[in-house]
Amino acid sequence: AARHFSAAGANVVVLARSGDAIGAIAREIGDTALAVTCDVAKWSQVRAAIDQANWRFGGVDVLINNAGVIEPISMLRDSDPAAWARAFDTNLKGVYHGMRAVVPVMRKQGSGSIINTASTAALRPRPGLVWYNASKGAVTTMTKAMAVELAPDQIRVNALCPVAGETPMLGAFMGGEVTNEMRSAFVSTVPMGRLSTPLDMANAALFFASDESTFITGVCMEVDGGRCI
């Protein structure tokens, strides 16, 4: 998303807990990118990151709440309460922190686009991922509620619901090392016959950020190759 938005002409602020990873992306992009080490589960760090973005680039037009975690698959009866807490701290509280920090900036500007990353797990939940399903389901509900709340301020709030994708989280999502058999079995449930890619998500996010979607808000869009049909 950072590379894709930059190629479209945007100034980009990249946040993550890993400073090395985001620093490399920012250096690759150049002067129009800023890397800020930030744990979205911590309000003070998110507020400071938004303040830095606002100071560096003179506003924040788009916020993508994309940080997420997934714990090992387990049935509810065997689940670890600490895993539930970690999931909700990042997957839900992180989204809340991002919106809470950026809304005053966008209200002052008179416009903005907030894009939350939910999941097809919110729409088509499955056993073994109840905590993940629940955290992402809450993101979809919060997206719709905030869309209504912020509409008078011309701030749009939408969400992406990706199917499992080619990311480092894939193994945890599938319950271990991803074998060819596991991959083929999952892909067979996606009508378009493949997993999602980061570029699929970046393209959808760029649409929600663009002037082409100025009358679209409160939408939780499935980017899933037909998985949820």
Question: pTM to 2 decimals?
Answer: 0.94
Q: Which of 131, 132, 173, 208 is catalytic?
A: 132
HSE-up of residue 27 (Cα within 13 Å, Cβ side): 6
Phi/psi of residue 112, nearest 5 degrees: 165, 160
Q: What sign results for the dihedral spanned by CA atoms 70, 73, 77, 81?
A: negative
Is position 132 annotated as part of the catalytic site?
Answer: yes
pLDDT at 70: 78
C-alpha to C-alpha distances, 204 to 56, 63, 71, 108, nearest whole angstrom:
26, 14, 26, 26
Which residue type sits at 209?
Answer: A
Q: What is the pLDDT along the chain (229 residues), one digit of tens a residue?
A: 999 999 999 999 999 998 888 999 999 999 999 999 999 999 999 999 999 999 999 999 999 999 988 776 777 788 788 888 888 999 999 999 999 999 999 999 999 999 999 999 999 988 888 888 999 999 999 999 999 999 999 999 999 999 988 887 777 777 777 888 888 988 999 999 999 999 999 999 999 999 999 999 999 999 999 999 9
In this structure, what DSSP letter does residue 172 have?
Answer: H
In this structure, what DSSP letter does residue 17 have?
Answer: S
Q: How far apart are CA 36 and CA 203, in angstroms?
A: 23
HSE-up of residue 21 (Cα within 13 Å, Cβ side): 8
The neighbouring-strand residues paired with 191 are: none
- CB-based contact 123:166 (threshold 8 Å): no
pLDDT at 169: 77
Q: How far apart are CA 116 and CA 80, in angstroms?
A: 26
Phi/psi of residue 185, nearest 5 degrees: -65, -40
In this structure, what DSSP letter does residue 155 have?
Answer: E
Instruction: With both helix axes pointing from N to C terminus, report the angle between 93-109 and 130-150 in degrees, rounded to the nearest 10.
Output: 20
C-alpha to C-alpha distances, 167 to 32, 90, 201, nearest whole angstrom:
25, 17, 12
Q: How far apart are CA 174 and CA 73, in angstroms?
A: 8
